[in-house]
C-alpha cells in the first residue's frame, strides 16, 4: 500500500517587513489584506500541528498544491526553501506553485528556481535554467505517478485567477498516457480547482475545458488542488472515467474562521492498473486548536 499525504495553501507567516520598492506593486493590496484579515486567522502553530500529525502517519510521499508564500517577496521565497528542507526530502515531497507564488511579475521564476528540487521531474535537468518549460512534470514513486501542473501567473490587483495553457494540456495528456501504459496510479497536482463554479470568477482557472480534455484523453485516477481553502470533493466525468478531484483547507488556517481549520488529506492506494483501491481520509484541526482529529473517510475507488 502506498500512502500519499496532501496539503495546500501553506501561506507561511509571519509576513516580513517589505521595502517601499517591494510594496510599489500589487503587493500593497495583499499587504493591507494580510494585516486587516489574514494574520488574524493564519497561524504558524496550525501548520506545525498539521506537519507533526502528518508525520505520525508515515506517508510515502507528500503533495503540496501551491500558495506556499503570501506576497512572493525574496525573503518569503527563501524561507519556504528552508521550510521545505525541514519538512521533507525532495524525493519524498512534490510541489506545484499557486497564484500567490507568482504574485508579481518575475516571482514565479524566482520561486521555481529556489524550490526546483521539489518540482523537478524524473527527466528534467539537474539545475533549472531560465525559460525552461518545467510544467507539467512527472515523478514516479512506487506504483504512483505524480504529474505536476502549473496555473501560476501574475495577475492584476484584486484578481487571483490561474491559467492552464494549450501546451500544458497536450503535454499533460501525453504524460498521463505514458504513465497509464506503465500501469501506474496517476495523480495530477494543480493549484486552482479545475471545476467550473468551484470558486468566484476573479479566482477561477482559465483553461478548465483544456484540463478536462487532457484528463479525458490521457486518463487519471486522482486530481489534487488547493486555492479555495475548502475541504471539497468534485468529480470529472467523461466517457471513460469518473475522476475524483479533491481540495483541502489552508494548512495554516486557525480555528474559528469562516473557512475550515487547517488539515491534510491522506490517500491509501492499493492494487494494480484496472483494479485500484483508493481510500481517502481527512484530518483537521480541532476547535481547541491544539490537536488534529479524523474527520472523514471515503472509498473513492475499488
User: Grid coordinates in use for 16?
Assistant: 516580513
DSSP state of 121: -
Helices (H), 132-261: 166-181, 208-218
Structural domain spans, the chain: 2-301
Crossing angle of helices 208-218 and 166-181, in 10° steps, is: 20
137-172-102 Cα angle (round to 5) = 60
User: Comparing 262 with 20, which gets the higher pLDDT?
Assistant: 262
234-276 per-position pLDDT tens digit: 999 987 789 999 999 999 999 988 999 999 999 999 999 999 9
Backbone angles phi, psi at 280, to 5 degrees: -115, 125
68-90 per-position pLDDT tens digit: 999 888 889 999 999 999 999 99
* Residue 35 neighbours by CB distance under 10 Å: 11
Contact 281, 266 (CB under 8 A): yes
Q: In what order do the strands lie in the sheet with 222-224?
A: 137-141, 144-148, 185-189, 222-224, 242-246, 233-237
pLDDT at position 19, please?
A: 54
**Using 50, 70 and 90 to split pLDDT, how confident is the model at 128?**
confident
How confident is the model over 45-53, as a mean pLDDT? 95
Assign domain 2-301 one CATH number from 3.30.70.260, 3.60.21.10, 2.60.120.620, 3.40.50.2300: 3.60.21.10
**Using 50, 70 and 90 to split pLDDT, how confident is the model at 126?**
confident
User: Grid coordinates in use for 277?
Assistant: 483501491
**Using 50, 70 and 90 to split pLDDT, how confident is the model at 67?**
very high
How confident is the model over 152-159, as a mean pLDDT? 84
pLDDT at position 131, please?
A: 79
Separation between Cα atoms, residue 138 and residue 152, nearest integer Å? 18
Separation between Cα atoms, residue 10 and residue 111, nearest integer Å? 14
Question: Of 47, 94, 90, 263, which is closest to residue 191 (Cα–Cα)?
Answer: 94
User: Comparing 190 with 37, which gets the higher pLDDT?
Assistant: 190
Q: Mean pLDDT score of the chain, rounded to an integer?
A: 91
Amino acid at each position: 500500500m502506498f500512502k500519499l499525504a496532501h496539503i495546500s495553501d501553506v501561506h507561511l507567516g509571519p509576513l516580513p517587513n517589505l521595502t517601499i520598492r517591494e510594496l510599489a506593486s500589487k503587493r500593497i493590496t495583499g499587504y493591507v489584506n494580510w494585516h486587516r484579515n489574514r494574520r488574524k486567522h493564519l497561524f504558524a502553530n496550525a501548520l506545525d500541528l498539521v506537519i507533526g500529525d502528518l508525520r505520525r502517519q508515515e506517508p510515502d510521499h507528500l503533495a503540496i498544491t501551491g500558495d506556499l508564500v503570501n506576497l512572493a517577496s525574496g525573503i518569503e521565497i527563501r524561507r519556504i526553501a528552508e521550510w521545505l528542507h525541514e519538512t521533507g526530502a525532495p524525493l519524498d515531497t512534490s510541489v506545484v506553485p499557486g497564484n500567490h507564488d507568482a504574485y508579481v511579475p518575475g516571482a514565479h521564476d524566482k520561486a521555481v528556481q529556489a524550490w526546483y528540487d521539489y518540482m523537478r521531474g524524473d527527466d528534467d535537468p539537474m539545475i533549472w535554467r531560465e525559460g525552461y518549460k518545467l510544467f507539467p512534470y512527472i515523478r514516479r514513486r512506487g506504483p504512483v505517478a505524480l504529474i505536476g501542473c502549473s496555473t501560476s501567473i501574475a495577475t492584476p490587483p484584486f484578481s487571483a485567477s490561474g491559467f492552464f495553457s494549450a501546451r500544458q494540456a497536450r503535454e499533460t495528456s501525453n504524460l498521463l498516457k505514458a504513465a497509464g501504459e506503465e500501469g501506474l496510479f496517476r495523480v495530477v497536482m494543480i493549484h486552482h480547482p479545475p471545476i467550473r463554479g468551484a470558486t468566484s470568477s476573479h479566482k477561477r482557472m482559465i483553461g478548465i475545458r483544456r484540463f478536462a480534455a487532457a484528463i479525458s484523453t490521457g486518463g487519471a485516477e486522482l486530481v489534487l488542488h488547493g486555492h479555495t481553502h475548502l475541504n471539497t470533493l468534485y468529480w470529472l466525468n467523461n466517457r471513460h472515467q469518473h475522476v475524483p478531484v479533491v481540495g483541502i483547507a489552508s494548512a495554516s488556517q486557525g480555528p474559528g474562521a469562516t473557512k475550515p481549520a487547517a488539515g491534510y488529506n491522506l490517500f491509501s492506494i492499493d492494487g494494480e492498473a484496472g483494479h485500484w483501491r483508493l481510500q481517502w481520509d481527512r484530518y483537521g484541526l480541532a476547535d481547541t486548536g491544539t490537536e488534529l482529529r479524523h474527520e472523514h473517510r471515503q472509498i473513492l475507488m475499488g
